[in-house]
Amino acid sequence: MSKRITIIIPKKMNEEINNLQNLLNMDRSNLIRYLLNKSIREVKIETMLNEYRKRKLSLGKAAELAGITLWEFIEYCRKNNIQLDLTEEDADIGINRVKKFNIQEYKEKIKKKNRIY
């Protein structure tokens, strides 16, 4: 279910949205939903990387809460120079995910993620 929200944004941000709107040829609402969705994903990943770095979460749990695969999370750790601290729980989570992996579902999920809202 959708919900309408109202926000006040700085003039410069509004100009940037207008520029992107023209560049991407999108209506304003869809563009803002797209930007919010992308930002939410990035902030979740960034937050879980920080939690993992502080050893507050296991690798598997951090990936799960970030909403990405364990392999994607490991790649983000590599890019951010975060040393991996693998536990038996992490190995079990990884093994279970591989066992449950369905390539068709994965391809559909990727298609949906790449759609603009």
Number of domains composing the chain: 1
SS3 state at 115: coil
pLDDT at 117 over 60: no
**Exposed / middle / buried, residue 61 (Cβ in 10 Å: 0-12, 13-18, 19+):** middle
3 in a structural domain: no
* Domain region containing 40: 11-114
6 in a structural domain: no
1 in a structural domain: no
Of residues 79 and 108, the one with the higher pLDDT is 79
For residue 65, name the pLDDT band (cuts at 50, 70, 90).
Answer: very high
The string over 92-111, giving b where at least 16 C-beta atoms fall within 10 Å of a residue's C-beta and e elsewhere, is ebbeeeeeeeeeeeeeeeee
pLDDT at 83 over 80: yes
86 in a structural domain: yes
45 in a structural domain: yes
Q: Check if the beta carbon of residue 59 is closer than 8 Å to that of residue 35.
A: no
SS3 state at 102: coil
Determine the average pLDDT of the residues in 52-79: 93
